[in-house]
Amino acid sequence: MQNNFPNEGMSVIVKTITRFTVWLIFLYGLYIVIHGHLSPGGGFAGGVIVALSYVHLTLAYGKNFVMERVNKFAMNSLEAIAAILIVLTGLVGLYVTGYFLANFMGIGKLYTLLSAGYIPMLNIFICVKVSMGLYLVFYYLASFKQQEG
Amino acid sequence: MPVDIWLYFILGFMIIGSIACLEIKNILSSIITIGVVGLSLSLAFLFLGAPDLALVQFVFEILCMIILIRAFAKRSIEVRALQRDVPETIIAIVILASIFVLSIFAFKDMPSFGKPIVRVAERYLANAGVETGSQNIVTAVILNYRIYDTLGEITVLFTAILGTLTILRKTGRKKRHAE
């Protein structure tokens, strides 16, 4: 990856280590989300870990490096879209079963990855929402400059 | 050692950490002591057999500490020495002591440790796998039995983020700066 802001962020050691660790953290977050109905974790914990991988990148390389690659508007939109999708899932449940947010998909076989109906889907929506939202909170709070005087 | 002794140890650690957080003058050390309290809470959840909650608490505490350090550590924040008056201190001690005595009476009537008064948990433990198909019962409760609560939580998070973005957005600040 080309770095257009080599003077920002932390030292070369931290940047090199970040290159090896950041995707591990990201993949661990995704693992926690996808296995949310099988092992401890779930959408919220995995979403926070995914947000932490972005935070890791921001701390090591500086915020301009990250903001060159991800779009703030896209992050805002993804968060809102995930929230809408959760409510839409509830409405589909209302249409199919007659109860809002009821499980409208088949339960499947216990202990397998594709089981538990709509729980993995909701976990993924919650992960997108939580990770985008928390990273945006971090971005705005950390890049907020104190006014002089 | 039984779980209770570990819990008392961790709770004492948390109390010491929160007192130290209030008394330390340096803001960075103070933030790190907040982290001690949060990570001890995560450890307490782990001892109580709640790995889901421990994971969330652990990860979230790290994020909170990073935000606090980045947002406040380099700010110039005035540290004012507290000047406590004698009558105020006496009133505070009296109120605290009365709350302590009342809480002793209140906690006597609570169900003992590990024996919850709510019976619905037994039904969840027995039937969650069959009814929801989820191996992790915590997820089954959060995302199937109690999904309205989760929807409310998501709304709370959404509102918090909306508030942060509204207060800290750049365009509004620039306009005020230009006036």
What pLDDT shows up at residue B173?
Answer: 52
Task: Tell me the pTM.
Answer: 0.82
Q: What is the Cα–Cα distance from B168 to A145, expressed in whole angstroms?
A: 10
Q: What is the Cα–Cα distance from B91 to B96, expressed in whole angstroms?
A: 9
Give the ranges where A35-118 is alpha helix by DSSP (H): 43-61, 63-69, 72-97
Mutation site, A25, A105, A134, A145, interface B, largest B CB count within 10 A: A134
Provide the CB-side half-sphere exposure for B109 (13 A, CA).
Answer: 4
For residue A43, which residues of chain B lie inside 8 Å, CB to CB? 143
What pLDDT shows up at residue A122?
Answer: 86
For residue A38, which residues of chain B lie inside 8 Å, CB to CB? 135-136
Please state the φ and ψ torsions of residue B149, each to the nearest 5 degrees.
Answer: -60, -40
Contacts of B140 (CB under 8 A, 6+ apart): A37, A116, A119, B124, B128, B129, B131, B132, B134
Q: Is A42 left (phi over 0), alpha (psi -120 to 50) or beta?
A: left
For residue B157, which residues of chain A lie inside 8 Å, CB to CB? 129-130, 133
Could you tell me the residue ranges of all domains in chain A? 12-141
Please tell me if residue A133 touches chain B, with a CB cutoff of 8 Å.
yes
A116/B140 CB distance under 8 A: yes
Mutation site, A35, A85, A137, interface B, largest B CB count within 10 A: A137
Structure tokens at B9: 């140890």
pLDDT in tens, chain A (149 residues): 677 777 777 788 888 888 899 999 999 999 988 888 888 888 888 999 999 998 888 888 887 787 778 788 888 888 889 888 888 888 888 888 888 877 777 777 777 777 777 888 888 898 998 888 888 888 877 766 655 43
As for the ipTM of the complex, it is 0.82
Could you tell me the residue ranges of all domains in chain B? 3-79+93-147, 148-179
Q: Residue A56 burial (CB < 10 Å; 0-12/13-18/19+)? A: middle
For residue A101, which residues of chain B lie inside 8 Å, CB to CB? 147-148, 151
